Homo-oligomer: A and B are copies of this chain.
Amino acid sequence: MKAFVTGASGFIGSNLVDRLLAEGHSVVGYDNLTTGQVQFLAGARGWSTFRMIKGDLLDTATLHQAMEGSEIVFHLAANADVRFGTQHPRKDLEQNTIATYNVLEAMRANGVKRIAFSSTGSVYGEPEIFPTPENAPFPVQTSLYGASKIAGESLIAAYCVGFGFTGHVFRFVSILGERYTHGHVFDFYRQLNADPTRIRVLGNGTQRKSYLYVQDCIDAILTVVGRDSAGVEIYNLGADEYCNVNQSLGWICEALNVDPQREYTGGDRGWIGDSPFIFLDTAKIRTLGWTNKLTIHQGVLKTLDYLRANPWVFEQRSVS
């Protein structure tokens, strides 16, 4: 297939691009390179079936032109900075909500009718049911990021009904693995690398989260996209387990052979709007035969391996 990947030089996007190319598909990557890294596409550039376009999703003329001839859009580009949403509310509106609208309109202009979309478990707000299924009670949003992702999901669903699109919406837990350049493992490793004797932990360390290894995440996406379907389908993606921040920190310290003094910022949330417990019910995607191959512990170790082998990622502009 002829795939168009937004956020192609990001963490998940670049891993997806590599997989699509390896499986024989042609790929047009689209990225504004504000948080993505050109180095992530070093391998992809070796394929004649890959073309990279530097462009912003708010630049609709470039976007419309770039998408010409594509058959499916993997819309992964987003402002993924959940934590600092209240410092720049416009970012989530523009880079997530309006950007998704622009992608859908570019699809309409180009006759592309199939979209896979990276949403988030954050759309469940603070759910009361764990693990949380896709049809959990109508949630109340607690973050600008979650609000912008539910706006994106809803636009896609409406385009499926109104314009005959096919939509694959994936609600991710936090993703781990190679090219991971934000989040708690990144933050902990960076701190311990600078000073192995102490570590600052947001919240009280008891926040429970589920994680998924990036290749497992891509397996799941490709499992769904490879099937015949119509209209919009929504899938939770995650491991069938969770861990708390202290456990994860324990694994990291063990792997690095350090025993830092832990300093907690306090409270049961890492930041305002942080959900203290994210654990998604993934029974639906598992009925398609998908399963995660790596545990959370293994995913954390893979991430550490990558960060240790790639110190350059800490020198780039990145979001923690």
Contacts and interface: CB of A to CB of B under 8 A. Distances in A.
A155 to B, nearest CB: 5
Contact of A138 (B93, B134, B142, B272): B134
A243 B163 CA distance: 30
A146 B105 CA distance: 18
A131 interface: no
A182 to B, nearest CB: 19
Interface in A139-163: 139-144, 146-148, 150-151, 153-155, 157-159, 161-163
Interface string A216-239: 000000000000000010100000
Contact of A162 (B85, B136, B138): B85
Given A86-B163, A93-B101, A157-B147, A137 B140 contact: no
Interface string A124-140: 11000000001111111
Contact of A146 (B125, B143, B146, B158): B158
Given A138-B138, A142-B158, A147-B151, 14 more contacts: A85-B162, A86-B163, A89-B101, A89-B159, A89-B162, A137-B137, A141-B158, A141-B161, A142-B157, A143-B158, A147-B155, A147-B158, A150-B154, A151-B154
Interface in A240-294: 272-273
Count this chain's copies in the assembly.
Answer: 2
A98 interface: yes
A210 interface: no
A162 B137 contact: no
Indicate the member of A151, A153, A159, A272 with the most B CB atoms within 10 Å: A151
Interface of A: 85-86, 89-90, 93, 97-98, 101, 104-105, 124-125, 134-144, 146-148, 150-151, 153-155, 157-159, 161-163, 232, 234, 272-273
A157 B144 CA distance: 9
Contacts of A136: 137-138
A107 to B, nearest CB: 12
A49 to B, nearest CB: 32
Nearest to A126: B161
A124 B134 CA distance: 15
A308 B135 CA distance: 46
A146 B154 CA distance: 8
Nearest to A152: B151
Contact of A150 (B143, B151, B161): B151
Contacts of A232: 140
A308 to B, nearest CB: 35
